[in-house]
Amino acid sequence: AANSLSDVFYTILLVIGLTIASKPPDESHPQGHSRFEPLVGLVVTIAMSLAAYEAGREAINKFIAGPQAVPILISSIMLISTVIIKALMYWMVRRIAKIYQSPSLDAISVDNLTDVSSAGVAFFGILLSNFVHPLFDPIAGIFIAGWILYNALQSSRENIVLLSGGAAPNKVREEIIHRALSVPGILHVHYLLTEYAGPRLIVDMHANIAGDLPFDKAHAISDEVIDKIEQMDVVDRVYLHLEPEDWE
């Protein structure tokens, strides 16, 4: 019940958050409003943590209360249905999250996958509680609570990186430098700063070119470098400063 309630809560929150995040840059937010999206993702993980707490509390209370009969037929039908529905939701939401580089949708896909795993564990817990020992049901509930909490913490860490302006992974940085150096005229990249502004990166780069190049040629090189790097899905915008080859 707690998990279902949290689903309703963060679905409403997602609509509000994505509406704000999609607004263009303005005077009050010159870098855009995209940081609101990982904020929504972080709130989703908090809702997941609360669901984990409620699931754990209920399981512990059942364990303390002692063995109780669990209706196998109705519970099994509900749990199997949950696995099928949530698996489809995970597949669809995960696909959309990758297309749009959306951390909030990614957090929801993690929650859907967690629901699939939780329902599967609960199903086997009910089977074991009916055919082995009744306490297997609350024991399964404790494992479910731990699994939900683990996934919530993992997802929250990713969203905190996006919110706090974390840097790009080394693999992404190397790809950015590779794209810059692939442009004829770029001799060296001696400074690179990457920062997440929401789900995508802002790149600040200093690169060297021949000092005797005409201004229009240097400008064309700059445009080509920026265009190549901004073609990366993870990059929002690039600020490039060109300097003579012996400058650092």
What tokens appear for 59 in the block? 């399981």
Alpha-helical segments (H) within 66-102: 72-100
Q: Which residue do the tokens 């597949």 mark? A: 91
Q: What is the Cα–Cα distance from 212 to 7, expressed in whole angstroms?
A: 61
CATH number attached to the domain at 2-163:
1.20.1510.10
Q: Give the full edge-to-edge strand order of the sheet including 235-244.
A: 188-197, 200-209, 235-244
Range(s) for CATH 1.20.1510.10 in the chain? 2-163
* 194 strand-pairing partners: 203
What tokens appear for 214 in the block? 């005409």
Q: What are 61-84's pLDDT values in tens digits?
A: 888 887 676 778 888 888 888 889
- Rounded (5°) CA angle 143-146-152: 145
CA contacts within 13 A on the Cβ side of 178? 7
Residue 86's SS3 state is helix
Q: What is the Cα–Cα distance from 74 to 8, expressed in whole angstroms?
A: 24
Q: What is the Cα–Cα distance from 38 to 44, expressed in whole angstroms?
A: 10
Q: What are 14-72's pLDDT values in tens digits?
A: 777 778 877 877 777 777 777 787 888 888 888 888 888 888 888 898 888 876 767 78
Q: What is the DSSP letter of 67?
A: -
Higher-scoring residue by pLDDT: 204, 133: 204
- Residue 179 pLDDT level (bands cut at 50, 70, 90): very high
Mean per-residue pLDDT over the chain, rounded: 85
Q: Which fold has domain 170-244?
A: Alpha-Beta Plaits (3.30.70)
Range(s) for CATH 3.30.70.1350 in the chain? 170-244
CB-based contact 54:148 (threshold 8 Å): no
